[in-house]
């Protein structure tokens, strides 16, 4: 009986096969780890952008009551991309039958990287999506997160605050007249010179440039305030005046806050 001959694979060939397998596994592992790292960095940067927008809303609330004051934030732009929209809509405020405010306001939009995703619906970060704010503790800024061809953080100030200042006695000659006093506040957000040079950091400063106060005297036993904003249903509120008060003084305060880069 003739014995079978066994042919062994060359040592060189087996080494090449083993090396190719190890190289393939290594490349796949590097690709996966790099993708995971990119995803973590994008998510981390987006979360940081949320905090920056929240800080910016707070800064705008503070500078709005201090003419000439300013505050700044620093934003990382590795994959995040901000949009500065000067004309996001027109807001119109009417008290009774008289138009007391009409102007264009802006919005800030910050998009996340390609690995950032958020759920359906809206995640509110701060504020309320109302055109009229009556609570003194709610900010005029409204910031939220939405999935819209990517993850976006959007912040705007398209609303007013109606504040009841109380009833005051005005002396006119020998007469004392009681009048109810209300204040309507509006922060007009605009954008100045902003320089964005690819990736890196962006220093944004919010500065209170101008405060305009207009005074209106109105008669009647109630105060009706109506607010219209582009592509939104109007909102209104009716405030009953105290007994014995037939006139109202309305102060309309518009503060222009400009955001620009340092």
Output 13 or 149, whichever has higher pLDDT.
Answer: 149
CA atoms within 13 A on the CB side of 216: 18
- Strands annotated E in 69-200: 70-76, 81-95, 98-111, 122-126, 132-133, 142-147, 151-156, 160-172, 175-191
d(CA 227, CA 157): 13
Q: What's the whole-model pTM score?
A: 0.82
Which tens digits make up the pLDDT trace of 157-182?
999 999 999 988 888 778 888 889 99
Whether residue 137 contacts residue 126, with contact meaning beta carbons closer than 8 Å, is answered with: no
Q: How far apart are CA 14 and CA 12, in angstroms?
A: 6
What confidence score (pLDDT) does residue 172 get?
Answer: 79
- pLDDT tens, residue by residue, 43-78: 888 899 999 999 999 999 999 998 889 999 998 888
End-to-end C-alpha distance for the chain, whole angstroms: 93
What are 146's two structure tokens? 């939405």
Q: Which helix (H) or strand (E) holds 44?
A: helix 11-64
């Amino acid at each position: 009986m003739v014995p079978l001959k066994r042919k062994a694979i060359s040592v060189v060939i087996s080494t090449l096969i083993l090396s190719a397998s190890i190289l393939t596994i290594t490349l796949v592992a590097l690709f996966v780890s790099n993708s995971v790292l990119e995803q973590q960095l994008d998510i981390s940067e987006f979360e940081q952008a949320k905090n920056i927008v929240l800080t910016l809303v707070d800064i705008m609330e503070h500078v709005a009551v201090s003419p000439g004051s300013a505050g700044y934030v620093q934003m990382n732009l590795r994959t995040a991309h901000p949009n500065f929209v000067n004309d996001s809509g027109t807001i119109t405020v009417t008290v009774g039958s008289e138009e007391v405010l009409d102007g264009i306001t802006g919005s800030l939009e910050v998009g996340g990287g390609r690995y950032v995703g958020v759920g359906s619906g809206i995640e509110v970060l701060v504020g309320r999506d109302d055109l009229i704010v009556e609570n003194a503790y709610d900010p005029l800024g409204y910031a939220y997160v939405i999935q819209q061809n990517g993850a976006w953080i959007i912040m705007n100030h398209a609303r007013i605050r109606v504040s009841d200042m109380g009833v005051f006695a005005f002396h006119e000659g020998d007469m004392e007249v009681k009048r109810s006093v209300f204040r309507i506040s509006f922060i007009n957000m605009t954008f100045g010179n902003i320089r964005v040079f690819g990736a890196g950091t962006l220093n944004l400063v919010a500065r209170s440039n101008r405060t305009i106060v207009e005074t209106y005297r109105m008669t009647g036993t109630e105060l009706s305030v109506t607010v219209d904003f582009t592509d939104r249903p109007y909102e209104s509120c009716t405030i009953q005046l105290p007994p014995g008060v037939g006139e109202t003084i309305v102060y309309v305060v518009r503060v222009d806050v400009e955001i620009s880069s340092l």
